[in-house]
Amino acid sequence: MFFLGVSGHSLYQRIKRYDKPTEQRQEDDDLQAENRRLKAELKRVSEERDLLKKATAYFARDSD
């Protein structure tokens, strides 16, 4: 279903979001931002860990 170029899902999501009080919306936004930040940090730390594992294996093999 489209109404003025907006899908039913988009309309539902807007109603769901703006039906909440402003304070609740702000809290939800803050939680989502924190979640995005933590996911990005987890990805970075995981990549660093993987790189360190590879370096450790390389130098352990090289020293034999």
Q: 37-58 pLDDT, tens per residue? A: 999 999 999 999 999 999 999 9
C-alpha separations of 45 from 35, 53, 55, 57, 58 in Å: 15, 12, 15, 18, 20
Supply the pLDDT for residue 3.
Answer: 63
- For the entire predicted model, the pTM comes to 0.67
Residue 9 lies in a domain: no
Residue 53 lies in a domain: yes
Domain that includes residue 41, residue range: 25-64
Residue 13 lies in a domain: no
